[in-house]
Amino acid sequence: MARIKICSPGEYIQGNGEIKRLSEHAAPFGDKGAYIIVDSFIYKNYGQDIEGSFKADGRPYKVAVFGGECCQTEIKKHCAASTSYSVIIGIGGGKTLDTSKAAGYYNNMPVMIVPTAASSDAPCSRLSVVYTESGEFEDYLPLPKNPDMVLVDTDVVAKAPARFLAAGIGDALATYYEAAACVASNAVTMTGGHSTLAAFSLAKLCRDTLLEDGIKAYQAVLSGVRTKAVENVIEANTYLSGIGFESCGLAAAHAVHNGMTVLEETHKLLHGEKVAFGTITQLVLENCPSEELTKIIAFCKKIGLPTTFADLGIEGIDDDRLMKVAELSCADNDTMGNMPFDVEPGDVFSAMKAADFIASGIASPKIGARPAVADAKCTMSLRKLNMDEIKDLSSILSKYQEDFEIMSGKYISDAKSMLGLLNIDWDRGAELIIHRDDPALIKSIKKFVR
């Protein structure tokens, strides 16, 4: 087995406006054009940018809207539809990108990946995570190569809700701690080699960048601006974490995430949100120094990442269900075995309970939530809205210059943004924060009040 094996995409390109140059970037892959798998929301908002350069260049293309789950049915659908094109382009979130990579693998086609949020390290990896049609973890699909190109439009990524950036930080924060476990156990990496000095250095740089710039980047995105800290965190979430995890390995943090997929309540959480709790659980398993554990928990709390059962939506979970999570996290096909000591389901069960208890006692308010409430003219409790009502609310609020925030639990999003509204957990209820004293506005919103 190879001792040195570092894997990375053929090209990694990060800059402003790159989504408007898709045709130019796709040209080297062949003259038969591109089969484009794209998230429905991204297509609605960036469809003209996505298609514009292909139309201008006269290059063939076909847009296929992603079905919502990276499952065998979805993968096979795109495999059948993409055979007459030169390259598959995946545009959107992690599951869209994983589906695109899997289809490219089965069709032996080059793949170009365009993440629209820095919410995970999936874009750069030679791996697809496959789920059942109902959203439960099924298996990892190792791929023979990384994407041929990863293209990151930082303007698009910076406009995504701050929750997405935070989730990417949660995913990337695990990279160093899992890499350290794999180095200690001399584990075989996702690519069939062993951890290397270069890969472990990238994993450490990833963590250091997040702890240095993560909160600043989160604040900037909440404010609707792109700063150097945002650029750095996008690179850390996407590239440093992608190379670090793949060429070092995964361990308990991601295994716990996979275990939690058995709980339907967690399906509404983003990947990196669950991984963040998995990282805290791994640190408890390792009995890491209290100072380090407290630092990581406080950091996660400040950017709205789940650190307790209540944050995960499983407050009061009974022991039998929690044990099912622990048992699935220790499955033979998962990465718990990369820990440098034996881990049994009972150990994971205890560590998760301890992580919840410890984090519940650490106070570190989420950034952005209090200031929004402090200067509000009023707040309104909204009922669960359907898609048409969400569009209507966004349209009403977009007519005004003032900011509006929507809060559900500990999460806060831009209420004028459709993406922000769509990522609210409406089942838990939502509070609309209004910074304008306007009776006509209040009257127009009353139809949404519960």
Residue of 78, 271, 334, 414 marked active site: 271
Spatial CA neighbour of 119 closest among 286, 305, 290: 305
Asked about 267 being catalytic, the answer comes back as no
Residue of 98, 171, 311, 414 marked active site: 171
Asked about 257 being catalytic, the answer comes back as yes
Asked about 254 being catalytic, the answer comes back as yes
The secondary structure of 273-306 as a DSSP string is HHHHHHHHHHHHHTT--HHHHHHHHHHHHHTT--
How far is it, in rounded angstroms, from Cα 97 to Cα 285? 32
Cβ contacts of 363 within 8 Å, gap of 6 or more: none
Residue of 25, 254, 311, 414 marked active site: 254
Under 8 Å between Cβ of 232 and 213: yes
Q: What is the DSSP letter of 400?
A: S
Categorise residue 342: left if φ over 0, alpha if ψ from -120 to 50, beta otherwise: beta
Residue of 78, 148, 257, 356 marked active site: 257
Spatial CA neighbour of 259 closest among 203, 333, 318, 185: 333
Q: What are phi and psi of 449, to 5 degrees?
A: -80, 140
Rg of the chain, C-alpha, whole Å? 22
Strands (E), 66-196: 87-92, 111-115, 127-131, 137-142, 149-153
Asked about 334 being catalytic, the answer comes back as no
Under 8 Å between Cβ of 187 and 195: yes
Report, as residue numbers or ranges, the catalytic residues.
171, 254, 257, 271
